[in-house]
Structure 1
Amino acid sequence: MPPLLERFDAADELSLHLVILPFPNAYPIFLENTRKLPKCKALTVGLKVDAHSIKSSLLHLLKQCGGTTKMEIELIHHDAPKVSLCEYLHCPCVQQEMLKTENVTLDLLEEVEFHFFTGSDEDVDLVKLLFMCKKALKKMVINVADDVAISDEVHEKIKSFSHPSTTLEIGGPSSHKRGVCLCKEHDWY
């Protein structure tokens, strides 16, 4: 993938479906392979993280995409253990400098749309992370996974992060996005 991405300086839309495998060297490879992304107006990120930190992975991608005006995030959930092995092995994904939002410049970002949101602590943390990077988004849409009902508590948490001028829509099923995916039968999910 990196040679292909490096051939383009800009794109109107960029859709990345990334899998970071649960191996110690997989995260540094992910960092290297995504260090130079084309500038894009619209970015769709489908990120399946089997063991590494999804927050630091998303922050890394955001640092590369400062000119993006619209971002869609497809959350791919699984039952694999999260970052405990990474903490033990001192993987870069759990290092504090990877979680800093000061280096993320999202001046042009206006709209963020989540798909397959479950209301888990990890999902809510991603919403909070985006509002830490860009407080005054014009619009945030959170489409929930088909089999999930979002609690009032999760609604209130998300509202507490958002700027008063941000239009916030929470609800709506995500199943319509599956028809957009170019993957054969969503094998990568």
Structure 2
Amino acid sequence: MSVPLRIGLIVEGHGEYEAVRMLLQRIWYELLGGDSLDVARPFRFPQGTLLKEEGLKQAVDTVRIKLGPDSPGGIRALILILLDSEGKCPRELAPRLLAWAKEARTDADIACVLPHPMFETWFAAAAASLAGVNGLPANLPAPDDPEGQSFGKSWLRRQLPRKYSEPVDQPRFAARMDLAQCRARSPSFDKLCRELERRLTASRD
């Protein structure tokens, strides 16, 4: 058994509300074999706010207060910042955002993951498992390099026979995508998995 983990999410988009929470639960239980995970309703802030030092610090402080303090031997809290890189280099941007966040709350466990270049790229990375799902074609082509080729919203829009809706479609794809496949083909998704894996390993020590 592991010590229960509660995650406070900082996201930027409307669709990510349910989709990210579902993905975290699936990674934790299905991919990593964890237990006792509580994902709080995500806190949404404009990306422009989160890319500014003062804005991000205020967001982190708000989420930390909502999560409450860790209890000895009890529930641990993690603040997870998740926003699209939108073409910016994650290896440069993520450490800067994480440093700001840790300055805001030195008492908090914080992780920062940037889907590269966007959240929908993770669906492209798991394309083979989404063929025929939620309107996608049965012969859905799998991109060779989803992140390098910047596959994302535009790729989904080309594949769907209708208008793409983030709040409607993201949770449906998140529920059906192959996690191991996505992890193998998307470095940014692998980063998310590794951050959760670290907390799971620590909770069992």
TM-score (norm 2): 0.29
* Structure number with higher helix proportion: 2
TM-score (norm 1): 0.31
Q: Which has the higher strand share?
A: 1
Find the structure with the greater CA-based Rg.
2
Higher relative contact order (CA 8 A, sep 6+): 2
